[in-house]
Each structure stands twice: as C-alpha cells, then as structure tokens.
Chain A
Amino acid sequence: MTALGKLFRTTTFKLTLVYLVVFALFAAFLLVYFALNTRRLITEQITDTVNAEITGLSEQYRIGGIRRLVLVIDARARRPGSSLYLVTTFAGESLAGNVGSLAPGILDNPGWSESAYRRLDETDGPVHHALVRVFQLPGGFRLLVGRDLEERERLYHIVLSAGRWSVAIVVILGLVGGFFVTRRVLRRVDAMTETTRTIMSGNLEERLPVAGTGDEIDRLAENLNLMLERIEALMHGLKEVSDNIAHDLKTPLTRLRNRAEEALRTAKNEAEYRAVLEGMIDESDNLISTFNALLMIARAESGHARDDMKEFDAAEIARDVGELYEPLAEEKGIALKVEAGVSAPVKGNRELVSQALANLVDNAIKYAGPEQKQVNGQMPNIVVKALSDGDRILLTVADAGPGIPEGDRSHVVERFVRLEQSRSLPGSGLGLSLVSAVARLHGGELTLEDNKPGLKSTIVLPRAGPQPVLAGS
C-alpha cells in the first residue's frame, strides 16, 4: 500500500471528504440563493422606479397634454443612463423617446414585459435587454418606460462566478487541510502502532506517546498506557508467583524426596518405613492444599467465579463460620463471639466468602492464642462481626493478638508472604491473599487495622439489593 493510498483510506480523510462535500454543497446553495435574491431585489427596484416615473409622466400628460409629455420625455431621453422612454400614437408611430427598435408586439400589450431593444443612437451592435412597462394613456397614446437589465445581469453573474470560485476554493482548501490533518493523525497513529509492536515483541516497559494536547488520541493513549501499567503489574505479579511457586512448592517437594531417600537408606523395619510414609502423606496433603489455595486465588483473581453469584446474608455466614470455629477457639482458651444480628445482604459466591472469613478467623485463633493471656491478664477475645454500613457490608474479625506492624500490612496480603514471627506456625502464607482476592472479586477489599491491641481485619463488600429502610420493615 502506497503512502498516499494509506492516507486516502484513513477514517480522518474519509471524514474530511464527507465534510467537504457537505460544506461545498452548502456554500453553493447559499451563493445561488444570494444571487437569485439579489436579482429579484434589483427587479423590484426597477419596477418601483418605472412605476413612479409612469405615474409622474401620466401626471404631466394630464396637466399639459401630449405636447408637454413629449417635451418631458425628450428631455429625459437625452440624459445618459439606462432608462428607456417611448411615446407613440395609437398607430404606434414614435413621438419621442430614445428607443430605436423593440421586439415586435411589445407595444400592443400594456403591462410588464422583458424585451430586446436597440437605442435610437445605435443601429448595429449587440441587442440589449430591458424590463419595460407599457402604459395606455387616455387619448390612445402609449407610454413605454423601461430600464436596461445589463446591470442586473452583470451583478447576477458576478455573484454566480464568485460562488463558483468560492466553492472551488473551499474544495481545494478542504482537500489540502484534510490531507495535512490526516497526515498528522496518521503519523501519531503510526507512532502508536510502532510502539505497540515493540510492546508486543516483549518490551513491556515501553509506553505510547502522548502529545499533551489532551485530545481524544491523547486520552486513548493515556488509557492504553494505564492498561499497559496494569498488565505490567500483573505480569510482574505472575512472575513473582511463579518464582514463589518454584520456591514454596519445591521446598516441600525436596523435603518429600529427602525423606524417601533417607528412609531407603536408614530405615530398618516396617514400623520405621511406615512412620516415614505417613509423614510423607502429611507433607503431600499440605502441598495439595497449597495448590488448591493457589488455584482458588487465581480463579478469584481472574473473575471467573463471577458466573455463579447469588444473593446471600453475610450475617448468616458470620454466624456459621463463628459456630464452626467456636469449639476450636474454646479449646485454645479463646472466647469467640459473633455479633451479627441484622441481615447483611451480599451478592456473591457464598462458598468463597465463607472461606475468606474462615481464613481470617483461623488466623486470629492461630496468632492470638493463649500466650496472649499473660499480656493483659484476661481471656483473649475474638469478635466476629457482620455490619451494614450504608451501601457497604463489613465482615470483621478482631483479635487481641500481636497484630501486624503498620508497615507490613500491605505486604502480608501478597502470596506466600509470612512474617518472621509466624514462620514457626503451620500455614502456607496464602490465607490473606485468598481473602483479598475474594474481596476484590466481589468488588470490595480487605482492610487490616490496629485493634489496639491486636488486629482488626475487615472484608468490605458492596451491599446487595435495596437500601435498608430505617424505620419498620
């Protein structure tokens, strides 16, 4: 495709052409209209003066008879100008005036007509045209007054030719302007295409050029750049995840292998083999649950689970999860309380939200365990709450444990991140990542706050259905 061909195929150029045709037609219409109107106006003017003159001349005739009229006409006919006068007898003999010849039959029809004529003083040369009025005077005389139309026609043609020229200029300027505008747009689009190619070839740090004019191409480029940033972040996350997977799955796999090897080398009897094998099963189970958690997070993050979202009551989930964990908490010497009286409708995946809340409660029990009892001398508490706050539903789990230092709070949500003090406890480091992914899947978020002392984790979800009615219902 040639450069010119490419140019003609652009949307901008096609648009230019369409506008050009529209404007040219409009300009032509405007000028023709103007020309016709001017002509009409001049014609009106002519009729008015001619009428006035005829009135004046008939007055002269009434006062002084034909002699006076002939004198006046004679005088007027001698003046230079475009006026035509003629007085004839009933038979058509000329008495006075400046008209040499007329189209035949004009004098026989009183009233207005357009006629070719020659003046008295010219015998050859071009025939002129005039607008004349023939008036029947009392006594059989006929009076003809007219005006030459040359001026009117000239003006009409001037306007028309001006119109042709301006349309031509509009077309030329439009084409040239369209060409340049298109070329400019094309250049920017080409630059964007070029950058896109580099990005596609793997250079994700590249960004589309922004001209800074704030026009639609700039806005498009800015949005695409934002998208690229998101993609880059996702790719980065993906890379991080695969690195993490490599580390966090390979480590237990290595342990598994080592155990098997060691058993083969050192185990002496069936009991010892059994012990090792059982340990290996436990280890594999941990691996499987890590895998499941990873898959679940990936699924929640891809937004796939949005397909089967239904409305449910988050308060019920708080009660159910609380009930599920209450015996475990009690066994560990922790009082678990649920405060979820009012209904808290949420649209989403009940299973995922339950699991997210279960993870938070699980964490609270794990980290705010009985060793905290010594700190403030009372039984450690965990409070699970479901609240309705305007258009948001809050599912909170508050404990009085060691909490998470402020600086680490955004960090712990990432996959496989485990804080130093928790490394000795069992866990995959995926719990909070899953909670956060589930919250985001539902259009909400996970927030971690200081419970003074302890940690207050909140799953914020958008409220489903109509707003609560304050009184009644």
Chain B
Amino acid sequence: MSTYTDIHGQRASGRIADAQPDRTTMRLLVIEDDRDAADYLIKAFREVGHVADQANDGEEGYALALDGQYDVLIVDRMLPKRDGLSLIGALRDKKIETPVLILSALGQVDDRVKGLRAGGDDYLSKPYSFSELLARVEVLARRRGGRNEETVYHVGDLELDRLSHQVTRGKEEISLQPREFRLLEYLMKHAGQVVTRTMLLENVWDYHFDPQTNVIDVHISRLRSKIDKGFSQPLLHTVRGAGYMIRDGAR
C-alpha cells in the first residue's frame, strides 16, 4: 500500500520499516485538465488511503471546492475556463480557507511568489515526484488541525521548548546550533509526517533552489547524532525515496 517503502526499505534495517507516517484519510480535490496526470494522482492517492476527486477545469473545480468539504485542494495553474490563481482568489473571497497546493510548470521564484500571494499555501513545480507531493499535501492537511499554538513539542522522550529554545531527551539536555534547532523544530512540528529535503531547504533555510550536492542529508545526520546517539529508541527516521520523519517508534 505504501509508496514509501521500497526495495531499499526491505534491504535496510527494521528501523526504516518502522518509519510509517501517521496517516488519517484525507479528502482531496485534484483540479487538473491533463487527464493522464490527474488519473495518476488520484490512483496514487487512493493507494495510500486517501480519497481524491477530480475536476477537469477551473469552473468545475471552483463549484466542487465551494462547499469546503475537502482537506486540501491540488490546483494546476493553467486551467481551461478559469485559471488556477483566479480560482484560488475567488475561493478566498468566499472565505473558503481550504489549504491549496499549486502545481505549475512555471517553477521560477517569482512565479512561486505570485502563486503564494494569490492565496496558495504551497507551490510545487512540475515535474515533481509523487512522494514530494504527498508529503506536502499531508503537511498542509495537518496544518489545518494546527500545531502552531503549542509552545513545547514532544516526540517520545524528546522535548523541544520553542520559547526557551531548550531541547531535552529524557533527563539529558541537548545543545543545538540555531539552525539545528530550527531543523528539529520543523521536524517535530510535523512529527509523524514525512518531510522532504526540499521542504526542509525551503522552510528551514528559505532556499528554493536545488543544491547540486545533497547538503541536507549531512545536516540531518549531524542532528541525528545529537538526539539519537546513545539512545536505544531512534526517533529521527529516514524514509527512503521521500525524506525524513521524526516519530516515536514505540507508539
């Protein structure tokens, strides 16, 4: 069922097999005029246990999205009848605050900015990998539930205080560099969810480009050595082919 476990997952230790995200069923709406692409997405979402509907053009998508029963809308920017950005704007005018992920072939920085300014919540440029899309959609859906208000994050015996910037595991205090703190904060905010390398780069470093070498992995392994080393229960997991996830494996 999962898109995340794969041949590497089997080859690797049990730790990765543990690393399944907490997944509750979401209702999604894919507004995309390319039928093949839409079918592919809907099938893939169903495989991981979500319910996805499809709209072929902007008007249909707008009509379906109006009653606000979806958890996340996935909107292509260029649509027949009504383009993606104006659709989002119209929804926001009607106080429909369903999170929107914009899909677009235009991937440059200012296109992103335009998309986000129009009321989109996240932006993914084509071509993308499904695992990247899935991770982002799940984070968006969860954001609606809201973990922002919490000032202390807990995962297992790991605790992060967002106000005092203190991190402890068990009785032990862990000292982190500022960036490591933000990295852990982001991971813990989305505990139980997969976060991709690009999401980390965007949200922790505020970079929207693709570094030639995978620098994020090294930062993660540094963080891992600080929070997991010497503990029997690892918390920071690698999800092969997708990214990383922090969760209490014992749960």
B1 within 8 A of A: no
Q: How far is the CB of B183 from chain A (nearest CB, A)?
A: 11
Q: Which residues does chain B contribute within 8 Å of A274, judged by CB atoms?
A: 6-7
Q: Which residue from B179, B209, B219, B222 sits with its C-beta under 8 Å from A354?
A: B209
B128-165 interface bits toward A, Cβ cutoff 8 Å, 1 = contact, 0 = none: 01000000000000000000000000000000000000
B173 within 8 A of A: no
Interface size on B, residues (CB 8 A): 24
B218 within 8 A of A: yes
The residue in chain A whose Cβ has the minimal distance to the Cβ of B179 is A323
Q: Which residue from B129, B209, B218 sits with its C-beta under 8 Å from A328?
A: B218
Q: With A and B bound together, what is the CA distance between A305 and B113 in angstroms?
A: 13
Q: With A and B bound together, what is the CA distance between A281 and B130 in angstroms?
A: 12
A278 within 8 A of B: yes
Q: With A and B bound together, what is the CA distance between A365 and B127 in angstroms?
A: 29
Q: Which residue from A271, A323, A328 sits with its C-beta under 8 Å from B213?
A: A328
Q: With A and B bound together, what is the CA distance between A274 and B211 in angstroms?
A: 27
Q: Which residues does chain B contribute within 8 Å of A271, judged by CB atoms?
A: 7
Complex contact B107–A365 (CB within 8 A): no
A288 within 8 A of B: yes
Q: Which residues does chain A contribute within 8 Å of B109, judged by CB atoms?
A: 305, 308, 349, 351-352
Size category of the A interface is: 35 or more
Q: Which residues does chain B contribute within 8 Å of A299, judged by CB atoms?
A: 108
A327 within 8 A of B: yes
A362 within 8 A of B: yes
Stretch in contact with the other chain, from A125-133, A289-297, A402-410: A289-297
B108-121 interface bits toward A, Cβ cutoff 8 Å, 1 = contact, 0 = none: 11100100000000
A12 within 8 A of B: no
Q: With A and B bound together, what is the CA distance between A414 and B184 in angstroms?
A: 40
B174 within 8 A of A: no
Residue from the set B208, B209, B211, B212 with the largest chain A CB neighbour count within 10 Å: B212
Q: Which residues does chain B contribute within 8 Å of A288, judged by CB atoms?
A: 127
Q: With A and B bound together, what is the CA distance between A296 and B212 in angstroms?
A: 14
Q: Which residues does chain B contribute within 8 Å of A295, judged by CB atoms?
A: 107-108
B190-229 interface bits toward A, Cβ cutoff 8 Å, 1 = contact, 0 = none: 0000000000000001011111110100110110000000
Q: With A and B bound together, what is the CA distance between A323 and B6 in angstroms?
A: 33
Complex contact B7–A278 (CB within 8 A): yes
Complex contact A358–B209 (CB within 8 A): yes
A225 within 8 A of B: no
Q: Which residue from A281, A323, A351 sits with its C-beta under 8 Å from B209?
A: A351
Complex contact B7–A427 (CB within 8 A): no
Q: How far is the CB of A277 from chain B (nearest CB, A)?
A: 9
Complex contact A327–B210 (CB within 8 A): no
Q: With A and B bound together, what is the CA distance between A299 and B209 in angstroms?
A: 14
Residue from the set A305, A308, A327 with the largest chain B CB neighbour count within 10 Å: A327
Q: How far is the CB of B241 from chain A (nearest CB, A)?
A: 8
Complex contact B212–A427 (CB within 8 A): yes
Q: With A and B bound together, what is the CA distance between A150 and B233 in angstroms?
A: 133
Complex contact B205–A320 (CB within 8 A): yes
Q: Which residues does chain B contribute within 8 Å of A292, judged by CB atoms?
A: 107, 210
A294-307 interface bits toward B, Cβ cutoff 8 Å, 1 = contact, 0 = none: 01100100000101
Q: Which residues does chain B contribute within 8 Å of A331, judged by CB atoms?
A: 218
A308-B113, A324-B205, A327-B222 known; A296+B108 contact, CB < 8 A: yes
Q: How far is the CB of A348 from chain B (nearest CB, A)?
A: 12
Q: How far is the CB of B197 from chain A (nearest CB, A)?
A: 12
Q: With A and B bound together, what is the CA distance between A325 and B6 in angstroms?
A: 29
Q: Which residues does chain B contribute within 8 Å of A343, judged by CB atoms?
A: none
Q: How far is the CB of A326 from chain B (nearest CB, A)?
A: 9
Complex contact A362–B179 (CB within 8 A): no
The residue in chain B whose Cβ has the minimal distance to the Cβ of A355 is B209
Complex contact B218–A307 (CB within 8 A): no
Q: With A and B bound together, what is the CA distance between A349 and B209 in angstroms?
A: 13
A308-B113, A324-B205, A349-B109 known; A365+B218 contact, CB < 8 A: no
A135-177 interface bits toward B, Cβ cutoff 8 Å, 1 = contact, 0 = none: 0000000000000000000000000000000000000000000
Q: Which residues does chain A contribute within 8 Å of B110, judged by CB atoms?
A: 305, 307-308
Complex contact B108–A278 (CB within 8 A): no
B161-184 interface bits toward A, Cβ cutoff 8 Å, 1 = contact, 0 = none: 000000000000000000100000
> Which A residues lie at the B interface, using CB under 8 A?
271, 274-275, 278, 281, 284-285, 288-289, 292, 295-296, 299, 305, 307-308, 320, 323-325, 327-328, 331, 349, 351-352, 354-355, 358-359, 362, 365-366, 426-427, 431
In the complex, besides A275-B7, A366-B212, 16 extra interface pairs with C-beta distance below 8 angstroms are: A295-B107, A305-B108, A324-B205, A325-B215, A327-B215, A327-B222, A328-B215, A349-B109, A351-B209, A352-B109, A354-B209, A355-B209, A358-B209, A362-B212, A365-B213, A366-B213
Q: List 10 A-B contacts (CB under 8 A).
A: A278-B6, A281-B129, A296-B108, A296-B209, A324-B215, A327-B215, A327-B219, A351-B209, A358-B212, A365-B213
> Which B residues lie at the A interface, using CB under 8 A?
6-7, 107-110, 113, 127, 129, 179, 205, 207-213, 215, 218-219, 221-222, 241
A-B pairs, top 5 by smallest CB distance, nearest first, are A327-B218, A355-B209, A328-B218, A274-B7, A362-B212
